[in-house]
Amino acid sequence: MTTNLESILADNQVDTVTWLRNQQVGPNAYPGVPAEYTNWRDEQRAWNETCVLFNQSYHMAELMVEGPGAFDFLLGLGINSFKGFIPDRAKQYVPVTPYGHVIGDVILFYLAPEKFNLVGRAPTLNWVLFHGEGRKDVTLTYDERTAARPDKENRRHFRFQLQGPNAAAVLTDALGAPAPDLKFFHMTWIEIAGKKVHALRHGMAGQPGYELMGPFEDHDAIHAALVAAGAKHGLKLVGGRTYSSNTLESGWIPSPLPGIYTGELNRPYREWLSDDQYESRCSVGGSYVPDSVEGYYTTPWDLGYGAFVKFDHDFIGREALEKIAAGPHRKKVTLALDDEAVTEAIFAQFGNDGLRPKYMEFPSAVYSMHQFDRVEQNGKLVGLSTWIGYTTNYGKMITLAMVDPDYAEPGTEIDLVWGEPDGGTSKPTVEKHRQITIRGVVAPVPYSEVARTSYAPSWRTKQA
C-alpha cells in the first residue's frame, strides 16, 4: 500500500531529524556519464584553463509549464519579480513555504509565450506540480531524471554546458560563425550540425560559458560536433565525480533541505508527496544535529538569494518574508580550510590506533544529499557548512557555509567540525569514525576571482 510523507512521519518511531539522518540511501549518483573521462584533477583544471563540456542531460529533472495561465501561476509561487521577464530569458527561481522557508531553486527558462521550462532538483518541481493540480489554464509535463526512471534514454531534452576561457572559441568553431554575444541569462537560437539549438549565456564553474539545449534525439549529433570543435581548444569532458565539485568555486549552495517537514500549512503537501518521492527518501548528514528539523531550514538570505526577494507581487510565503526581511540574516561565505589541519585529518586514516576521522573523499567530500556541518568559534556554533570539497585550481579544501553576520568578514578564523557525533549514523555512506575539528578562515564567495569580477550582478556577486 502506497503511503505518503505525512503518514511516514506520523508512524516514525524516531524524531524527524533522526529519521532523515539515518535514511538508507546510498551515494548521490550522477547518471549517464562515467565517473571520470580522464581524471578529476585535469577535468577541474580545464574549466579554469581551457574549456569543459558538462553533459547535464541525465541528472536533473525538468518540468514544462504551458498555457495561458503559466506566467501568473509561476509568479505566484516564486519570490522573484517577473517585471521585464520576457521570452528568451532565464532566471534562478526560488519558491518558499508559507513560513518563508526555501523549498529549493531551479533555473526557469522562458521559452516562448505561455511556455516555460523549470530545470533542477526534484523538490521545487514537486512543489510546482502540487500547486498546479486542478488548474485549467496550465498544463504541467514532468520529465524525471535518469536515475529515477525505467526508460533511461528517453529524456525530453539534451542539455550541455560549455564552460571555461575557451568556451566562446569552441562554440564559434561548432557554428562556423562567431558565438552569439549574449547578456547573462539571455537566450537565442543557433544551429549546430544542422540542428536547431537553444543557447543560454550562463556560467557555472566560475567561468563564462553557454548552456545548450534541444530535443534529446539530437543529443549524439550535437555532442559529437562540440567535441570535434573543442579538439584544438583543450576541451575536456567532465565526469560525474568531478561535476559535483564545480559549485565550490562559483558559490552556489546546491542542496537546501526543503522546509516542508513541519507546519500545519504544509500538511496538504506532505499528504500529497508519496513514499517514493525525493522528500520521503532524501538523507541528511554532517556534524550539526538540531533539536528540531526546522534547524535545517533556510531562508533566501541564508543562501545568498536575498536580492531575489521582491514584494511587488503576491506569492506564497510573502507575509512571512516581510516579517524577517530586516534581518539579521546569516551570510553565505567560503570557508577555506587550513592546509595543515586537513592534512592531519587525512594522515589519521593510517594506523590502527582506534577510530579514524570521517573519510574525506576527493574532490567532493559531501556524503549525504543534504550536508550540514557545524561551524564554530571557540566551541560556539556560528554557522553551518553545506558543501565541501577540494579544488585543484586553488589547491584547497573549501566549503560553502552560512554564518552569523558577526563572523562573515573575510579573514575571520572559524572551525569546521568534521564527522558525525557518537561514531556516526547508519547511512550506508558513513563508516564508524570520530569527530575532529579543522581550522578554517572565512574567504569571499564566489571563491573564483573570475566569478566575482566577471559575472553580471546576481546572487553570486551581490547579497542583500
Q: How far is CA 97 from CA 89, 222, 317, 343, 458, in A?
A: 25, 39, 5, 41, 23
**Average of per-residue pLDDT across 95-101:** 98
Q: Which residue has the higher pLDDT, 97 or 30?
A: 97
The residue with cell 539515518 is 22
State the pLDDT at residue 26.
Answer: 77
Using DSSP's 3-state secondary structure scheme, residue 334 falls into strand
pLDDT in tens, 130-153: 999 999 999 999 998 776 666 656
State the pLDDT at residue 149.
Answer: 63
**Average of per-residue pLDDT across 433-443:** 96
Q: What is the DSSP string of 231-283?
A: GGGTEEE--HHHHTTTHHHHT----PPPS-SS-GGGHHHHHHSBTTSHHHH--
State the pLDDT at residue 351.
Answer: 85
pLDDT in tens, 392-424: 999 999 999 999 999 999 999 999 999 999 999
139-143, strands of its sheet edge to edge = 89-93, 106-112, 115-120, 61-66, 139-143
